[in-house]
Chains A and B, each alone.
Chain A
Amino acid sequence: MKKKILALLYLAVFYLTSCISQENPPIIETPDQSKFSTSIIVDGIEIPWGMDFITENDLLVTEKKGILYRVKNGEKSEVSGLPEIYQRGQGGLLDVALHPDFDNNKLIYFTASVHVEGDKGGNTALYCGELNANELSNVKLLYKGTPNTKKGQHWGSRIVFDDQGHLFFGIGDRGNRDVNPQDLKRDGGKIYRLNLDGSIPEDNPFFQEDEAIKAVYSYGHRNPQGMTIHPKTGEIWENEHGPKGGDEINIIKKGKNYGWPVITYGINYSGTSITDKKSMPGMEQPFYYWVPSIAPSGMAFSSSGVYRKWKGNLFIGSLKFKYLERLIIKRGKVVKREKILNDIGRVRNVKEGPDGFLYLGVEGKGILKVIVNR
């Protein structure tokens, strides 16, 4: 009898707490953290926003306030030749990515907040340039969002490539959610697709539409700060910050509308409602959404098998709760979520290195390699 009452009590407590927290399932688990450790690849970087690997021991790291580092065997040197960065709010020097044929052409791409011309303020831009040793030359502006604005929020932006000669990058809604994301004639709240030389593919979804911005690939985004290619399917996976609640994982498809701010699982920071709609015909549902928000940044699949049980799992940084989130996906659904390296610091970026290990950009620290002790 006592046991029964106890069991009922447990159930009641469990039910009540799950009601109060209203966490979107699966509820995150915290496994034994003593299995996980890190080794420091490079330290002394305030906000390591983006990174890419030339080799296992030679990588490029962006520092948000406007420094590009080349890190060789743990020693960092500043790369010269960057354009002037407009550091404001969440903006600054953002992602960096090697051209798929970097070994031969030495080209790199990067996204940054810039004020090039026109109105006060800035917007997100995509550049490419040639990297020789620690020097960037022939820097070209490939795309710049307009108009400039002094708003500090939602610049995006990650860079990924498909295997058909395209580059994808995002620009957030630039703090103008009711104007930008749903308007194809305006920049902001979009994922863009370009050819590697910066030209616009003629088969882009809105290429034939008058007045539409022809580089747009998908729209209705809030602030995409994680993007990666699925190692098996080749799909573009993206994560973006929601408002209070409603951070999302999306699979980016050509011409689709991801709904911000018409539909969302989040509410205003003040607690007031943005919309009562969570779905609408013609708008994509997220693959997964977080309530409460974790503030996701960076995204990588573990494809290598160097971590025994993590192959095929998705890894995303949490800025807000300072851990690396592991998501196990089965049959098109997130079935399990785990905290890895709890309290490591604000995880800004996640990448799988050439050696198959996961590397994190952690704010106030630098680049850390993730190690699982056996």
Chain B
Amino acid sequence: MKITLGFIGLCVLFEGLWLYQNKSLEQSISDGSEIYQDFCLQCHLDNGQGVSGVFPPLAKSDYLLKNIDLSIKGIKYGLQGPIVVNGEDYNGLMQNQGLDDEEIADVMNYILNNWGNKSQEMITLERVANITE
């Protein structure tokens, strides 16, 4: 009996630890929504539509969906120079916003699961941490 209880206790502990390190996709999207409102919305706007020719769209953006690591890199270190998004040319500058890796994972999960975007896999803290300049 004691052993079973102890085992269950351990399981709960590990589960808790796992959840602590890797939050659920729902939680990540929800945290990412707050980051989006604070750091991204002013340019990319409330439905990720961007401003044609000035700020590239995030909603159904081929650049974003085909270049996830490059997009993470852009958020982490900034992005400057010509890119083509959904057939339109952009030549702007996005500075890094000073977000930590967890915040970047959260905002990516939010962006990748909104406005018609649907991601196969969750962006993890590790994936963001492993992307270098």
Chain A residues in contact with chain B, CB under 8 A?
46-47, 64-65, 86-89, 91, 151-153, 175, 269-271, 320, 322, 346, 363-364
Contacts and interface: CB of A to CB of B under 8 A. Distances in A.
Q: Identify whether the interface residues of A are mostly helix, strand, loop, or mixed.
A: loop
B25 interface: no
A269 B46 contact: yes
B88 interface: no
Given A46-B80, A175-B38, A269-B45, A152 B98 contact: yes
B92 interface: yes
B41 interface: yes
Contacts of B96: 65, 87
Interface in B68-97: 78, 80, 92-93, 95-97
A333 B99 CA distance: 43
A111 to B, nearest CB: 17
B42 interface: yes
B18 interface: no
Contacts of A152: 38-39, 97-98
17 contacts: A46-B78, A46-B80, A87-B96, A89-B38, A89-B97, A89-B98, A91-B98, A151-B38, A152-B39, A153-B42, A175-B38, A269-B42, A269-B45, A269-B46, A320-B54, A346-B93, A363-B93
Nearest to A86: B98
Contacts of B78: 46
Contacts of B38: 89, 151-153, 175
Given A152-B38, A364-B92, 6 more contacts: A46-B95, A88-B99, A153-B42, A269-B45, A270-B46, A364-B93
A103 to B, nearest CB: 34
A89 B41 CA distance: 11
Contacts of A320: 51, 54
B80 A364 contact: yes
Contacts of B42: 153, 269
Question: Can you list the 8 inter-chain pairs with the closest CB atoms, starting with the nearest?
Answer: A88-B98, A364-B93, A87-B98, A152-B39, A270-B46, A152-B38, A89-B39, A269-B46
Interface in B27-77: 38-39, 41-42, 45-46, 51, 54
Contacts, number: 42
Given A151-B38, A152-B38, A175-B38, A64 B54 contact: no
A337 to B, nearest CB: 20
A65 B95 contact: yes
A235 B29 CA distance: 48
B16 to A, nearest CB: 24
Contacts of A47: 93, 95
Given A151-B38, A269-B41, A88 B97 contact: yes
Contact of A46 (B45, B93, B97): B93
Contacts of A271: 46
A82 to B, nearest CB: 16
Contacts of B41: 269
A96 B96 CA distance: 22
A152 B100 CA distance: 13
A269 B43 CA distance: 10
A269 B46 CA distance: 7
Contacts of A88: 97-99
Query: In the complex, which of the residues B39, B54, B95 has the most CB atoms of chain A within 10 Å of its own CB atom?
Result: B95
A64 B95 contact: yes
A346 B93 CA distance: 10
B117 to A, nearest CB: 19
A134 B46 CA distance: 43
Contacts of A151: 38
A322 B95 contact: no
A64 B42 CA distance: 18
Contacts of B46: 269-271
A363 B55 CA distance: 14
A322 B38 CA distance: 23
Contacts of A269: 41-42, 45-46
